[in-house]
Chains A and B, each alone.
Chain A
Amino acid sequence: MDIRSQISMVFHLDKCIGCHTCSIACKNIWTDRKGAEYMWWNNVETKPGTGYPGKWEDQLIYKGGWEKQDNVLSLKGAGKRKGLSNIFHNPNMPVIDDYYEPFTYKYLDLIESPAGDDQPTARPVSLITGDPIDIKMGPNWDDDLSGSPDYARKDPNLANLSPAEQEAMFQLERMAFFYLPRICNHCLNPACVASCPSGAIYKRGEDGIVLINQNECRAWRMCVTGCPYKKSYYNWHSGKSEKCILCYPRIEAGHAPACMHSCVGRIRYLGVILYDADKIEAAALADEANLIDQQLDILQDPFDPEVIESAKQNGVADSTIRAAQFSPVYKFVKKWGMALPLHAEWRTLPMLFYVPPLLPVMASLSEVDNTEQAAKMGDIAKHWDDNWLYDTSTEELWGSIEQARFPLQYMANLFSAGDTEKVKTVIKKLMAVRIYRRWKTVGDISEEKSNETLQQAGLTASTAEDIYYLTSLAKFDDRFVIPAAHREQAIEMLEDTGDKKGSAGFGFKEGTARRGP
């Protein structure tokens, strides 16, 4: 047993309203620089959709992540042999046009144009060349475009759905979508770290944040290929790769990362999770069928005395262990079993977990006789001439899951490596809590039915209350349980604090522009 601590996250997709506030907070702090304009360390995608960069989930194109062959784990498109032999030209790398060409508008033309017969316009110009461009793509170009032929229907997760299932998904009446906010997963088996020829990318031992040493990065660009989530970006101006740093300067100071702090829907949770590093290899090599189970099995119970003892032996601070015990991530992922990793089949062991969305699953279309209803309507009212009912009833307890507008297989492709039972279990729990609260607050569902639901989902009333609290009422300190970074000990170990007093905090003072002004 080798217990280490990891800053881990849960995104509750049911609560995401797709406002992109997280993306803007991140952009304003970290990527509002030359060469980084196109980067969105945090982005929010519409699912079904192709995402950013286009079709990033299609590893036949981008060759990201790990693959298991004959019980050996190897990087799909990078690694020692493939990476070094492709060092002069990386054949599996997305280029700027796979993201979008960054642009701005010539706003000044609106003011400075000479008087004339026409209204002046602000033409779009490229942020790379400065030339006028026709905008072909931008951030969130496919926002809310469910059902669109160019985006939604090209979602790589639809690959193993039958044509009938796909058609059903995109019928106008059944149209649905949900948002998928994405940041770096700060994986336990990061493919970006493994693919970096320079060894510039590393995982911080203390909190598991994955970072790129900008001084050691030599622009070999293998991490861009290696990361299956395409969360490592190449800065074309500085010639360095950059990625989400989980706002480590904020975390070290006890603040939540900017994207999480600013989240309007309060969908984001962050906390410490204790994991057993000895189990990483086995989990990364797990059979297809056990992928999720074995990945979650790495995460350990922070109340287990044996785990605590081992953590202490590894030097995990008492305050960190305490934070792990109060961790909302531990509750969602392990205690309640309601959160799943995104695309576990890429075997990077992501440490960002998602509570799958329930909303598009709840309602379904059923065929009813609408003639009576239509007769009641006046002449000016819309005539109800079809026999469909947008059905949100829960007559059959789990019926609406089976008849969901999203096939379970689609959700399973995203969150449980294709295993529909896993996703179903989670969705049942979400529904059970909702039915339980409906009984309590609205009262149109009987107590028996509510109890039956809870029982079938494997929950108790008090657990349901806890889930409800953390989902809907949780305060800032419940959502973000950030342990002290104990930098005071770090500096004592490395330097003489008396001598360094008043001089710390400056460090990197070169301009990032490496090619003059």
Chain B
Amino acid sequence: MNTLNNFLFIALPYIAIVVFLVGNIYRYVSTQFTYSSLSAQFLEDKQGFWGTVPFHIGILMLFLGHLAIFLFPEATLAWNSNPVRLIIHEGIAFTFGLTVLIALIGLMLRRLFNKRLRVVTSKMDIVIELLLLTQVILGCWIALGYRWGTSWFAADLTPYLWSIFQFDPQIQAVSALPLVIKLHIVGAFVIVLIFPFTRLVHFLVAPIHYLWRPYQVVIWYWDKQKIRKSSTAWTSHRPQNN
């Protein structure tokens, strides 16, 4: 049991993080062409709207929620110290979890029953979709069965996650957790692990820079003014052999 715990909560996280970093950088540098998600809206529009919008908003909120507790555990505990605020916090989180669950099932059925969409679905799409589905089901189960997750996450899991990033993994608290929660944690690391091989990579290239970019983009292949002046023609890149 100890070996297994060591593997799942020490080795796996590090493997996942290394693969995540190396994999993403390698894929971005070597085949940037594939570094996005294959949108299927062009092939199926109307049903997709009811799946993809709630799914994306929900999963983004869940991600940010987990991230916030990881970054600000004290603030979370302070907020949760009042029962009313705790219930609101848990309620909102669970709503988003349920939203993602329903939307994800909807999206899976859409892919399953639409022949056009099956043509553009890869094996990895199915793997990551099932993995996300498992993860969301476990998450909802935990929220209902092991209350109150937002608090004990801050108290038990945040220190564990920080210990990983500080290269001093402390797994006593994690090892003592119920199986469902353990599965949820392992699932998260598996997602991080296979992330660079899936369509999830589009999350990393979300077009935030659009906000401060000027609308029009003009690219000059070379500086024509420079190249036409004999005095400056070779100053930036001087040829080596002529």
Residues of A within 8 A of B (CB): 79-80, 83-84, 87-91, 93, 95-96, 128-129, 131, 189-190, 193-194, 196-199, 201-206, 214-221, 234, 236-240, 313-317, 489-490, 492-499, 510, 512, 514-516
Interface size class, chain B: 35 or more
- The distance from the CB of B35 to the nearest CB of chain A, in whole angstroms, is 7
Interface-facing stretch out of B9-17, B44-52, B72-80, B92-100: B44-52
- The distance from the CB of B168 to the nearest CB of chain A, in whole angstroms, is 38
- Docked-complex contact A199 and B217, CB < 8 angstroms: yes
- Docked-complex contact B239 and A498, CB < 8 angstroms: yes
Contacts of A317 in B (CB 8 A): 224, 228
Question: Which residues of chain B (33-64) have a CB below 8 Å from chain A?
Answer: 33-45, 48-49, 52-53, 55-57
Instruction: Point out the residue from B32, B216, B223 that lies within 8 Å of A194, measured CB to CB.
Output: B216
Contacts of B209 in A (CB 8 A): 199
27 A–B contacts from the bound complex (CB under 8 Å): A80-B211, A89-B49, A89-B52, A93-B41, A93-B42, A93-B45, A95-B44, A129-B116, A131-B115, A194-B216, A198-B205, A199-B207, A202-B219, A204-B218, A205-B219, A205-B220, A214-B33, A218-B37, A219-B37, A239-B38, A315-B224, A316-B224, A493-B226, A493-B237, A498-B242, A514-B33, A516-B122
Instruction: Point out the residue from A190, A196, A216, A221 that lies within 8 Å of B42, measured CB to CB.
Output: A221
Q: Give A190 to B215 CA distance when docked, in angstroms.
A: 9
Q: Give A314 to B224 CA distance when docked, in angstroms.
A: 7
Overall SS of chain A's interface: loop
- Docked-complex contact B53 and A194, CB < 8 angstroms: no
Q: Give A516 to B202 CA distance when docked, in angstroms.
A: 19
Interface residue? B241 (CB, 8 A): yes
- Docked-complex contact A315 and B227, CB < 8 angstroms: yes
Residue of B nearest to A94 (CB): B42
Interface residue? B147 (CB, 8 A): no
Contacts of B113 in A (CB 8 A): none
Q: Give A71 to B60 CA distance when docked, in angstroms.
A: 36
- Docked-complex contact A493 and B227, CB < 8 angstroms: yes
Instruction: Point out the residue from B52, B217, B224 that lies within 8 Å of A201, measured CB to CB.
Output: B217
Contacts of B223 in A (CB 8 A): 315, 493
Given contacts A499-B240, A515-B122, contact A189 B224 (CB under 8 A): no
Q: Give A510 to B242 CA distance when docked, in angstroms.
A: 33
Residues of B within 8 A of A (CB): 31-45, 48-49, 52-53, 55-57, 115-116, 118-120, 122, 202, 205-207, 209-211, 213, 215-228, 233, 236-237, 239-242
Q: For chains A and B in complex, what number of residue pairs have CB atoms within 8 angstroms?
A: 162
Q: Give A376 to B177 CA distance when docked, in angstroms.
A: 107
- Docked-complex contact A498 and B216, CB < 8 angstroms: no
Contacts of A129 in B (CB 8 A): 115-116, 118-119
- The distance from the CB of B56 to the nearest CB of chain A, in whole angstroms, is 4
- 9 nearest A-B residue pairs (beta carbon): A315-B224, A197-B207, A205-B220, A194-B215, A218-B36, A239-B38, A88-B56, A202-B217, A197-B210
Instruction: Point out the residue from B31, B39, B48, B222 that lies within 8 Å of A221, measured CB to CB.
Output: B39
Q: Give A367 to B209 CA distance when docked, in angstroms.
A: 66
- Docked-complex contact B207 and A198, CB < 8 angstroms: yes
Residue of A nearest to B226 (CB): A493
Q: Give A494 to B237 CA distance when docked, in angstroms.
A: 7
- Docked-complex contact A237 and B120, CB < 8 angstroms: yes
- The distance from the CB of A236 to the nearest CB of chain B, in whole angstroms, is 5
Q: Give A202 to B32 CA distance when docked, in angstroms.
A: 18
- The distance from the CB of A252 to the nearest CB of chain B, in whole angstroms, is 11
Contacts of B218 in A (CB 8 A): 202-205
Contacts of B215 in A (CB 8 A): 79, 193-194
- Docked-complex contact A128 and B207, CB < 8 angstroms: no
Residue of B nearest to A74 (CB): B215
- The distance from the CB of B24 to the nearest CB of chain A, in whole angstroms, is 14
Q: Give A279 to B177 CA distance when docked, in angstroms.
A: 68
Contacts of B228 in A (CB 8 A): 315, 317
- Docked-complex contact B236 and A493, CB < 8 angstroms: yes
Residue of A nearest to B209 (CB): A199
Residue of A nearest to B33 (CB): A215
- Docked-complex contact A510 and B221, CB < 8 angstroms: no
